[in-house]
Structure 1
Amino acid sequence: MNSPYFPVPENESERLLALASYNLLDTAPEDDFEELTVLASQICQTPVALISLLDDKRQWFKAIVGSDVSETPKEYSFCAYTIVETTDIMVVNDLREDDRFASNPLVTGDPNVVFYAGVPLITEEGFALGSLCVLDVKPKELTDEQERSLKILARQVLAQMELRKKLVLLEKANQELLETNTFIKKFATTAAHDIKNPLSSILLTAQALQMRLKNTGDDKSRNLVALTLNSSKRLLTLVDKMMAYSTAPASLLSNQECLDLNKLLKNVVNLLDVPHNITINLPKVEHTIVCSSVAVEQIFLNLLTNAVRYNDKPQGVINILFREEDDRYSFKITDNGVGIAPANLEKIFEKDVTLNTTDRFNKKGNGLGLYTVKLLINKLQGEIHAESKLGEGTTFVFAIKKTPSVVAAELNDVLYQQ
């Protein structure tokens, strides 16, 4: 549908959204764009060249040579026709003789524009954001070489726009990553301190109780105390690793260890409150992996805790599967629990998202567990997703990047030398 003053693209709403996504309107001059307009002016031998972006009411000039005007009303815009009527180049040798422009105030009055040539700036999605154009105050014709050069420069303008957009997105991603790392650091530090104090008390109490039971002959009680001591020591070691990571997040990638996977998983399971009617099956074959132990322990601690908490079956079963691939380790944790609705399979990894579901202990989650798992897996250059059927169970599938073989070999050499 056309306005009385200028043509309007059929996809105008979408085009305006695309233009806004580049965040270029009303920004400061930039040399990369200015230089391209200078080249356009010199190649086409015109006194004026400009990069015009058209919003809903005006054409705004990201760069201009030969004039100090920053914008004009859209109804005066020659480029409004360019973005609608061509995908190649629009050349008007004498605007005074063209019915579309003969009465335009920019033609009939100052600056008395006579010649116009413009190339639309069209994105890969097909949205024309504006144009690169050249103007003159006298009739003119462009040679084939000049037209070809103007098209090449227009592609460079669009490339600069795309580059600038990607840089903005990269800065945003970096900021989000910084916020994420800050969150992990604060979370780990707070959790570690909150856990360590009562754990130390439990450890001291268990040690005192062990001394009292030493000569009583009560083997059953001594075994229970020994189990408490061992669990407390493992937890304290895990907490210390969390605290070390919280102060130096890069250690998650640099502190790689040669780990016995099934031994690690048994230690994690021993930290859980597993009801008697739930069975956790570890991989049938022993495996050795090279990775960050604190990260893998935290990942499995969260996933297995959820698998236990949200299992409503008389006989719960949790299976852990492992596969080593060329460049990564792949894991599956499958349970026969309550399941997750398809609409929530992506949401569960978002921060502070809870599904208002109570577990077998009549408690609700805090929305941090799976979010933390995903952050840790991303940090290990991996990915995770969930598959589920309501009432039947859930499978978490995740993979983490392997440590380069050279590093793994060096770690093994160190272990063998000890």
Structure 2
Amino acid sequence: MSKPEFTLPDNESERLAALASYNLLDTLPEEDFDELTLLASQICQTPIALISLLDDKRQWFKSVVGELASQTPKEHAFCAHTIVETTEIMVVNDAREDDRFAANPLVTGDPNIVFYAGVPLINEDGFPLGSLCVIDVEPKHLTTDQIKSLKILGSQVIAQMELRKKVALLEQTNEKLLETNTFIQKFASTAAHDIKNPLSSILLTSQALQMRLKNSGDEKSSSLVGLTINASKRLLGLVDEMLNYSTEPSLLITDQKRVELNKLLKNVVELIDIPHSITVNLPRLDHSLICSSVALEQIFLNLLTNSVRYNDKDKGIVNVLFKEDDNYYNFKINDNGMGIAGHNLEKIFEKAVTLNTLDRFNKKGNGLGLHTVKLLVEKLKGSIRVESKVGEGTTFEFSIKKR
């Protein structure tokens, strides 16, 4: 017995992708869909009603009224014809007399289909995903009102599918927002409180020392202490921003403002203990960006600190480069420092992973800096990568999405 033939819809691959986006295949029965098939069965006075979805190999039934298997091969599916041949309704009054279906196993055998009427389920983008159909085991004709009602019920099936999809997307978005807010809140609150108390003590002590030096007439020493005071005030300002973000985490992403890149970089450089043997080269031209300044400061503070700490050359060089395209700001930091072994490049962004390498100050890192950098970059809808050669240096490249 030959298999019934049917034509695939145009853009079949796109149709299948659209069907998959609803995540309905092989899910459990749902009352909202079952009520619609029950109404279809009662209105059309048929023992069987189905919501049928067609993937590449089968028709699968999301909802069934009557005795029927949960799926059938696609080549046996009446609905495979429906989604190609009409945008309204396909009616087969007696399948035994229709050349398309007379030899169909579903007609010649169980469930002995004779009558079929199916409304294609066409989504908002125009893709036919399946059908709402009614079936009988004897010849039948639908009235004009029954046909109209079946079409209305088909529209309601699509409405339920779209609603279900949008609810699922909203739930996913909420989960991502919750994860983002939790991370930012913990990061900002912990870092800020750990820094603020000792930093306030440094500022007060420095101010007292500056007053004493001025009274003694030691202007040179007073000027040096002034640098410490200014740096402490900038750091306290940064900490206050971080505390604000910890109480309203979404600000880290949404509070985007115009930033002069070189000015931001100079402020960061002043916060780092850079030996005279290391030169930090900033972009030759200044650039104006619109982004989260506090996030960008934290990223650069971590990356530039590492470039300085792990530079063992007599003349250390750190270069900061910038370019932008239509969608992203792109940054590159390269140095001529110790470098990182190739097998460790993927590990360095993991939480609490250290490479047991002493920096130029004979200290080991805690493994949190680069992990935090990666998380911040990803929250800004960007990415980060690293290249390195032991003994020659390291290059970090990261991007953040434009607003």
TM-score past 0.5 threshold: yes
Where does residue 396 of structure 1 map in the other structure? Answer: 397
Decide which of 372, 376, 382 is 2:375's aligned counterpart. Answer: 372
Evaluate the alpha carbon distance shift between residue 120 and residue 307 of structure 1 in structure 2; reply closer, same or farther with a 3 A threshold: farther
Evaluate the alpha carbon distance shift between residue 245 and residue 286 of structure 1 in structure 2; reply closer, same or farther with a 3 A threshold: same
Evaluate the alpha carbon distance shift between residue 41 and residue 94 of structure 1 in structure 2; reply closer, same or farther with a 3 A threshold: farther
Q: 1:362: how far off?
A: 2.7
Where does residue 225 of structure 2 map in the other structure? Answer: 225
Evaluate the alpha carbon distance shift between residue 153 and residue 183 of structure 1 in structure 2; reply closer, same or farther with a 3 A threshold: same
Which amino acid is 1:395 matched to?
F
Partner SS for 2:320: strand
Evaluate the alpha carbon distance shift between residue 37 and residue 355 of structure 1 in structure 2; reply closer, same or farther with a 3 A threshold: farther
Tell me the alpha carbon deviations over residues 206-240 of structure 1, each in whole angstroms, 9 at most, x when there is no partner. 22222333344545543442232222111111101
Does the 8 Å contact 2:180/2:379 carry over to 1? no
Identity %, equivalent residues: 50
Tell me the alpha carbon deviations over residues 259-315 of structure 1, each in whole angstroms, 9 at most, x when there is no partner. 443222111111123344432111122344454432332232123233334545554
Where does residue 317 of structure 2 map in the other structure? Answer: 317
Q: 1:98: how far off?
A: 5.7
Evaluate the alpha carbon distance shift between residue 293 and residue 86 of structure 1 in structure 2; reply closer, same or farther with a 3 A threshold: closer
Q: Does 1:29 find its partner at 2:31?
A: yes
Provide the C-alpha distance between the structure 2 equivalents of 1:371 and 1:94, rounded to a whole number of angstroms.
Answer: 65
Where does residue 298 of structure 1 map in the other structure? Answer: 298
- Pairing of 1:180-199 with structure 2 (within 5 A): 180-199=180-199
Q: 1:180: how far off?
A: 1.1
Provide the C-alpha distance between the structure 1 equivalents of 2:155 and 2:277, rounded to a whole number of angstroms.
Answer: 66
Q: Does 1:238 find its partner at 2:243?
A: no
Does the 8 Å contact 1:385/1:397 carry over to 2? yes
Which amino acid is 2:245 matched to?
Y
Partner SS for 1:214: helix
Does the 8 Å contact 1:340/1:394 carry over to 2? no
Provide the C-alpha distance between the structure 1 equivalents of 2:344 and 2:78, rounded to a whole number of angstroms.
Answer: 44
Evaluate the alpha carbon distance shift between residue 265 and residue 163 of structure 1 in structure 2; reply closer, same or farther with a 3 A threshold: same
Provide the C-alpha distance between the structure 1 equivalents of 2:172 and 2:256, rounded to a whole number of angstroms.
Answer: 30
Provide the C-alpha distance between the structure 1 equivalents of 2:358 and 2:117, rounded to a whole number of angstroms.
Answer: 69
Where does residue 11 of structure 1 map in the other structure? Answer: none
Evaluate the alpha carbon distance shift between residue 335 and residue 54 of structure 1 in structure 2; reply closer, same or farther with a 3 A threshold: same
Tell me the alpha carbon deviations over residues 291-347 of structure 1, each in whole angstroms, 9 at most, x when there is no partner. 4432332232123233334545554322112346677644332334425749956x8
Evaluate the alpha carbon distance shift between residue 303 and residue 376 of structure 1 in structure 2; reply closer, same or farther with a 3 A threshold: farther
How many residues were matched structurally? 358
Tell me the alpha carbon deviations over residues 326-378 of structure 1, each in whole angstroms, 9 at most, x when there is no partner. 77644332334425749956x866x7374746462332412632233214523
Partner SS for 1:138: coil
Does the 8 Å contact 1:334/1:393 carry over to 2? yes
Provide the C-alpha distance between the structure 2 equivalents of 1:159 and 1:343, rounded to a whole number of angstroms.
Answer: 51
Provide the C-alpha distance between the structure 2 equivalents of 1:80 and 1:328, rounded to a whole number of angstroms.
Answer: 47
- Pairing of 1:257-406 with structure 2 (within 5 A): 257-311=257-311, 313=313, 315-323=315-323, 329-337=329-337, 338-339=339-340, 341=342, 352=351, 354=353, 356=355, 358=357, 360=359, 361-366=363-368, 368-378=371-381, 383-391=382-390, 392-401=393-402
Does the 8 Å contact 1:82/1:131 carry over to 2? no
Partner SS for 2:274: coil
Where does residue 95 of structure 2 map in the other structure? Answer: 93
Which amino acid is 1:352 matched to?
K
Provide the C-alpha distance between the structure 1 equivalents of 2:353 and 2:129, rounded to a whole number of angstroms.
Answer: 41
- Pairing of 1:33-112 with structure 2 (within 5 A): 35=36, 46=46, 48-52=48-52, 61-64=61-64, 67=65, 69=66, 73=69, 79-80=72-73, 82=75, 87-88=80-81, 93-94=95-96, 100-101=105-106, 106-107=111-112
Provide the C-alpha distance between the structure 2 equivalents of 1:341 and 1:86, rounded to a whole number of angstroms.
Answer: 56
Evaluate the alpha carbon distance shift between residue 286 and residue 97 of structure 1 in structure 2; reply closer, same or farther with a 3 A threshold: closer
RMSD: 5.0
Does the 8 Å contact 2:283/2:322 carry over to 1? yes
Does the 8 Å contact 1:47/1:135 carry over to 2? yes
Tell me the alpha carbon deviations over residues 11-37 of structure 1, each in whole angstroms, 9 at most, x when there is no partner. xxxx9xx79954762242226x85588
Evaluate the alpha carbon distance shift between residue 342 and residue 27 of structure 1 in structure 2; reply closer, same or farther with a 3 A threshold: farther
Does the 8 Å contact 2:253/2:380 carry over to 1? no
Moved more, 245-254 or 258-267: 245-254
Partner SS for 1:368: helix
Which amino acid is 1:100 matched to?
P
Provide the C-alpha distance between the structure 1 equivalents of 2:244 and 2:266, rounded to a whole number of angstroms.
Answer: 23
Where does residue 413 of structure 1 map in the other structure? Answer: none
Q: 1:159: how far off?
A: 8.9
Provide the C-alpha distance between the structure 2 equivalents of 1:276 and 1:303, rounded to a whole number of angstroms.
Answer: 19
Partner SS for 2:380: helix
Does the 8 Å contact 2:387/2:395 carry over to 1? yes
Provide the C-alpha distance between the structure 2 equivalents of 1:386 and 1:400, rounded to a whole number of angstroms.
Answer: 15
Provide the C-alpha distance between the structure 2 equivalents of 1:85 and 1:30, rounded to a whole number of angstroms.
Answer: 24
Evaluate the alpha carbon distance shift between residue 394 and residue 327 of structure 1 in structure 2; reply closer, same or farther with a 3 A threshold: closer
Provide the C-alpha distance between the structure 2 equivalents of 1:276 and 1:339, rounded to a whole number of angstroms.
Answer: 24
Q: 1:397: how far off?
A: 3.1
